[in-house]
Homo-oligomer: A and B are copies of this chain.
């Protein structure tokens, strides 16, 4: 792997584990096995490297979620597949966790890929919910954009519950709770 690649991957990992504020240029260099001169040869600095890392993480998340949401089945089944997909629950969401980082939120450039990814996910879920409504699969009157926001929030908040309690069971509970509320009559 090339040095810029190693630097980006190391930054992706460290941002996931420790956030932006908790990630020092030195820690990135150590994890990437790259020197300070090499890092500043390829990237202008930590913000520049972080932007490359966040952009890649966001694209990866979009790929994984998109595959499940574009899969076969009814609206409910596709949302269920998305919610129940295998996750590294205790690590949390590599994109969502960045929202708790004051320096990410203060930077329009760093917040943009986070906002775009979560916005894309909400939009895609809302489309699927609208399809389900159109086919009569879901409770009439449900507002797709609002329920889509609740689905994304349940996942993001499910990580908080799991990390607070030290167990993935809390994430699973939240997801099952939401699915039971969303289930078409007779399927709950």
Task: State whether A156 touches B148 (Cβ < 8 A).
Answer: no
Output the nearest chain B residue to A118 by Cβ-Cβ distance: B164
Q: How many residues of A contact B (CB 8 A)?
A: 56
Interface flag for A99 (CB, 8 Å): yes
Identical chains in the assembly: 2
List residues of chain B with CB within 8 A of the CB of A17: 102
User: In chain A, residues 127-176, which have Cβ atoms closer than 8 Å to a Cβ of chain B?
Assistant: 139, 141-143, 145-161, 163-166, 170, 173-176
**Interfacial residues, chain A to chain B (CB-CB below 8 A):** 17-19, 21-22, 92-93, 96-97, 99-102, 105, 111, 114-115, 118-119, 122, 139, 141-143, 145-161, 163-166, 170, 173-178, 180-182, 188
